[in-house]
Structure 1
Amino acid sequence: MKDEKEYYSIGQASKLCNVPANTLRFYDKIGLIHPDKLGENNYRFYSKETLMYIPVIKYYKQMGFSLEDIKKIVDENSFTIHEKLFKQKFDELKIINKSIYKKYTAIESWLQLIIEADLIKKNDITQVSVKYLEPSEFCYMEQNFSYNYKEAIINIDFTNYMESLSNEVAGVILLNFPSLKSRLEQRKTQVTIMQKPILKVTPETKTKSFGGQIFASCYHIGPHETLLTAYHKIYDWASKNNYSCADEAYERFVIDYWTTQNPDYFITEILIKIEKIDFSTPDPLF
């Protein structure tokens, strides 16, 4: 019976399926797709039915399968090998996805800080402002603090703690001073170092919420040793505008030792919770 199938030369098949001719030859060599017949000088010809495997191969390659695995999948008539290979690939991609997510989150957080710092520096934004901060969960560790900022910011103990939990942190570092008076007097004190986790935290991870309130904010450009000027700005502003300041403070390090070793380029934001003083409430004694 005469063969009435339509056959495509390797050049035609290459254009039809948008794959190089060398790729088709390689598929033949490894036994993935064979030509339906050979012409003079072993010239390859393919049927449309055979070429329909090309989109299937592209799809599996898109998912990250090797040609060796694709051959197993295409040749297998049961789902046993499919389930095994798909599960292996799924587990492999979960690990890759986790790694990419951690890198993406860390870079995105750092980029946002650089953009923020550039805005502050260019516009010399060092006046006091009122700011509402959305609540966020932070990992934390309490430590003694003797105003060695480099040791507190590039914090070996905190890094080791997060690694012990198979987690990492990213973004801005905060130091929470529970006593504003101790901070202003620069006495040795206990502080809480805070930073956002990248991955979902485990039950044993120490976390605390920060934000959800109104703060007085003041950016400081320059060395950490001169941060008190920003504190005094906030106190003077609060007194003039009838605000009371909470007895704790947060120092938020936008640009620090992680980015530059030149303290003149450091940018730190001082944050103190504030409340408007209500003079309309009558004194109960009168």
Structure 2
Amino acid sequence: MPILKYYKQMGFKLQDMNGVGDNNSCLFHERNFLNQISFLEDEEKRIQNSRQALMDWLELIHEGMNVTSNKFESINIKYIQPSQYFFLDQDFDYDYKESVINVPWIRYLEENNAEITGPVILAFDDCQKKSLELANRVTIMQKPVRNNDSNLPLENIGGKTFISSYYIGDHSQMYKKYADMENWAKKNGYNCGPNVYERFVVDYWTTTDINMFVTEILIPIVEN
């Protein structure tokens, strides 16, 4: 029957079409169609979320390749548009691999049906302590996907001016970049901090070669 062909074109499975040809009730078709629309809407969201996550990851790879190939490690001023992120406070012991490939964080997101996209961000309350490797608490953050259905609390990043610099290489040596950025801020008439964000562009999720790691350090600033 033609109606069976139309059902198949609309994405119905064989088991969904049982009784279609023998049932003349509009309510039967309405119920089937509404259920299928709901299913397709869920599928559309899932595909959109997956596509966004893949596109954002690809963009990070391109950003990292551009930074490493051109040795972009200069210090710049940039305004960051405000954006909201999932977050979780944790202890921090300078094991960056454990912090980036963060099992408690992944479990926390999964338990709360929270889908994320974009880079891992580690936020520290005290820039000075972090530069001296004395910070022992961190907030891990990642951006929700567009179709976010989770009720987890969100925290803002941005809406202000930062000094920014990329750091290329082993995370254990990143403290040296902090000193350069703090000195640059003083020379140019800025106070920086009190907090700092480390944005992991290329990390353990992408490569095992620590020489290819790219991290953007973002420190809020105000003029003296």
- Which stretch shows the higher mean deviation, 105-114 or 92-101? 92-101
Secondary structure of the residue aligned to 2:143 is: strand
The alpha-carbon distance between structure 1 residues 188 and 271, as it changes in their structure 2 partners (threshold 3 A), is: closer
The residue aligned with 1:25 is none
The residue aligned with 1:275 is 222
Out of 166, 191, 212, the position equivalent to 2:138 is 191
Aligned counterparts of 2:13 and 2:88: Cα–Cα separation in 1: 45
Aligned CA RMSD, in angstroms, stands at 2.1
Aligned counterparts of 2:194 and 2:13: Cα–Cα separation in 1: 61
Aligned counterparts of 1:144 and 1:163: Cα–Cα separation in 2: 20
Segments of 5+ residues of structure 1 without an aligned counterpart are 1-31, 34-52, 278-286
> In the alignment, does 2:168 pair up with 1:221?
yes
1:276, CA displacement in angstroms? 1.9
The alpha-carbon distance between structure 1 residues 84 and 106, as it changes in their structure 2 partners (threshold 3 A), is: same
The residue aligned with 2:97 is 150
> In the alignment, does 2:65 pair up with 1:123?
no
**TM-score between both structures, scaled by the size of structure 2:** 0.90
> In the alignment, does 2:145 pair up with 1:200?
no
Counterparts of 1:1-286 in structure 2, within 5 Å, are 32=1, 57=5, 60-66=7-13, 73=20, 76-198=23-145, 199-203=147-151, 205-277=152-224
1:111, CA displacement in angstroms? 0.9
Equivalent pairs counted in the alignment come to 223
The C-alpha deviation readout for 1:130-172, integer Å capped at 9, x for no partner, is 1111111100000110100011111111111111111222211
**TM-score between both structures, scaled by the size of structure 1:** 0.72
Segments of 5+ residues of structure 2 without an aligned counterpart are none
Higher relative contact order (CA 8 A, sep 6+): 2
Q: Which has the larger radius of gyration?
A: 1
1:239, CA displacement in angstroms? 1.8
The percent of aligned pairs where both chains have the same amino acid is 36
Aligned counterparts of 2:149 and 2:214: Cα–Cα separation in 1: 29
1:84, CA displacement in angstroms? 2.2
